[in-house]
Structure 1
Amino acid sequence: MNLILETDRLLLRPLELSDAEAMFAMDSNPEVHKYLWQQPTQKVEETIKTIENVRSQYERNSIGRFATILKETGEFIGWTGIKYIDDHVENGNINFYDYGYRLNEKFWGKGYATEASVVWLDYGFNQMNIDKMNAYTHSENGASNHILQKVGMNFMEEYLDKDGVLWKWWLMENPND
């Protein structure tokens, strides 16, 4: 996949195996997983498998999560992007576009997730012509919930996952329709 998106401060490009160490550093941090599934990555080999899985999504769906790089320093700060959910049911849904992001803790609170979100939503609606974009966040993740609201996503409902954890379901319809 050769898509590259840019913002003022960020470069968004396909994940590569060379991102494994930086991605492992992010995903092995328990704070990063506080509002996820409480399962920080234990070995870099798990991260390599994740990157290989994402790269197969690029081939299968022509989209997936992208490495998010700080232009100023070239640092991998996390991943952002659109994923086509076709491998599991979420809140009773399958075969839908999901917007998501995960940043390394040291890059939180700097506006990077918002900056990337604006570009990704624009790309999804204006280049991919997606009718609607969903997102889901842990109900207690105030920062992520605030970002999604700020970029124009609409909170639809709360739901319990299979483990009884409360999540928020978000939706944004294509403003061009």
Structure 2
Amino acid sequence: MKSSIETERLLLRELLSSDDEGMFELDSNPNVHRYVGKKPVIHIDESRTAIGLIQKQYATFGTGRWAVVLKETNTFIGWSGIKFISDTINGHKDFYEIGYRFIEEHWGKGYATESGKAFIDHAFNEMKVEAIYAYADPENSGSRNILEKLGLKYVNSFMLDGEEEVWYELKNPNL
């Protein structure tokens, strides 16, 4: 796996233990969690644990969510990336999912789309994955718009843990 990816405005890199304060700012905000379980973290140790779990994913699967840092200021603004999912979700098992989450003040600036394009390029051209999948709350129009800007297509609605979700996918055009 590459050590980092640069876009016009962003540095994408593996999450570090020192990202704990940024992760806590991100995941303690109830607005950030509106469509992802409605369970914001309440202590920075939860963010530290999350970073540790993501770092284990790097070691186990060679991929995972990465920190998104503004190049201009070296500021942590959230995470994005390709995660390997070994659970069965919507009839799929052992697949690659794209995801992103940003500190609220950085919403609406195109960072999810910019980082997402870089990660899809990396997944298809470096990792040679066959397809990228994603799912979202059907009411999360912001996330759904980003997925569509990234080229993912809506496939179906399904239930996950008693909640309706929408499923998107994008096949690798190079395979």
CA shift for structure 1 position 161: 1.2
Give the match's secondary structure for 1:76. Answer: strand
Give the match's secondary structure for 1:121. Answer: helix
Give the match's secondary structure for 2:55. Answer: helix
Q: Is the 8 A contact 1:26 1:78 kept in 2?
A: yes
The alignment status of 1:78 with 2:78, answered yes or no, reads yes
Match in the other structure for 1:169: 167
CA shift for structure 1 position 94: 2.1
Query: Which TM-score applies when normalising by structure 2?
Result: 0.97
Name the CA distance, whole Å, in 1 between partners of 2:137 and 2:34: 9
RMSD: 1.0
Note the 1:1-177 alignment, pairs <5 A. Answer: 3-86=3-86, 88-163=87-162, 165-177=163-175
Name the CA distance, whole Å, in 2 between partners of 1:92 and 1:21: 36
CA shift for structure 1 position 119: 0.5
- 2:101 partner amino acid: R
Name the CA distance, whole Å, in 2 between partners of 1:70 and 1:129: 27
Name the CA distance, whole Å, in 2 between partners of 1:36 and 1:56: 22
Gaps of 5+ in 2: none
Name the CA distance, whole Å, in 2 between partners of 1:23 and 1:59: 20
Gaps of 5+ in 1: none
Query: Which TM-score applies when normalising by structure 1?
Result: 0.96
Stretches of 4+ moved more than 2 A in 1? none
Q: Is the 8 A contact 1:2 1:14 kept in 2?
A: no
Name the CA distance, whole Å, in 2 between partners of 1:22 and 1:151: 25
CA shift for structure 1 position 138: 0.8
